[in-house]
A and B are shown apart, each in its own frame.
Chain A
């Protein structure tokens, strides 16, 4: 299975990088931009697919791929491209 993991800073965590990009976008002619948050996107190829693999992957999302103190993650799985995407949001 192919998994995509999106890691975003929690709302309470200051994202100075996002703020800098927001300001740059405003300067470049888009004063409408209200906010920008910057996270990470990972594409992961995994052999096999079953519920047990998925729960191990969730465990690694919590232990390694994100830091629950400052970040939330979202695990997206797809077997055949982008049109069969199952979203599981875990808010920690």
Chain B
């Protein structure tokens, strides 16, 4: 299964993503330069962390107009799995593939830390195998990861179970002290309504090996692989039914 890892000028977690994905059985990652225009050869798309275009203007504001983004947007609309971590999450919000926006951390500090996140939905294509309440230990490293949305969007996100991850303490309680950046409702990661686009501020790519302090991040990549596999086999079954 082939995952594309998009490289924007200024991306700096592209290698982490490729290494994490290639370290998992059944997955293969490949760099795709942002000037490319097609992602047809890939089963899933990953937008890595970093500082695309130096974060000029706003994080992700210029990257969202890179040539490859037309392919990311059309493939996302067609149902392909798209994962954005950290700066990738910011790009997805700027591109309108995810609602809301990420603004400067409330503390004004760049946070670089290991955090605990709690899975808030029972089944999503990105947290398959992690039932509601599962705690994932993931690192964060960002200056602008404070999730903001207007009250109506926030209500919709809650009502449609799009809030996939929240910052929690070690016991799994959603408390202000566990919130590293001031995000509303401790939001760490959200998906779109169709559930095939997921953005999160923490770095699953930097937590895919126990030697890095946590292997919880690998669960997200493995979940994506299992989702794609399940979709394929159900599509194949459908085709067989149609022929019969």
- List chain A positions with a Cβ less than 8 A from chain B: 9, 12-14, 16-17, 20, 40, 64-65, 67, 69-70
Using a CB–CB cutoff of 8 Å, the interface residues on chain B facing chain A are 57-58, 61-62, 65, 93-94, 99-101, 103-108, 146, 148-150, 182
In the complex, A12→B148 CA distance in Å? Answer: 10
Least CB separation from A68: chain B residue: B101
Residue from A13, A20, A67 in contact with B58 in the complex, judged by beta carbons closer than 8 Å: A67
Residues A13 and B148 in contact in the complex (CB < 8 Å), given A67-B58, A69-B101, A70-B103: yes
Which among B106, B146, B148 is the interface contact of A69 at CB below 8 angstroms? B148
B61 close to A16 (CB less than 8 A): no
Task: Give chain A residues whose Cβ lies under 8 Å from the Cβ of B103.
Answer: 9, 13-14, 70
Q: Are B105 and A16 in contact (CB under 8 A)?
A: yes
Contact A69 B100 (CB under 8 A): yes
Main secondary structure, interface of B, reads: loop
Among all A-B residue pairs, the 8 with the closest Cβ atoms: A69-B101, A70-B101, A16-B108, A16-B106, A67-B101, A16-B104, A67-B58, A13-B148
Q: Are A69 and B108 in contact (CB under 8 A)?
A: no
A12 engages B94 (CB within 8 Å): no
> Nearest-CB distance from B111 to chain A (Å)?
13
Query: Besides A69-B148, A70-B101, 10 other CB < 8 A contacts?
Result: A9-B103, A14-B146, A16-B105, A20-B108, A64-B65, A69-B93, A69-B99, A69-B100, A69-B101, A70-B148
Is A14 in contact with B108, judged by CB distance below 8 angstroms? no
Q: How far is the CA of A16 from the CA of B94 in the complex (A)?
A: 21
Give the nearest-CB partner of A63 in chain B: B65
17 pairs, CB–CB < 8 Å, chain A vs chain B? A9-B103, A14-B182, A16-B104, A16-B105, A16-B106, A16-B107, A20-B108, A40-B57, A64-B57, A64-B61, A65-B57, A67-B101, A69-B93, A69-B148, A69-B149, A69-B150, A70-B103
Nearest B residue to A69 via CB reads B101
The chain A residue sitting closest to B104, CB to CB, is A16
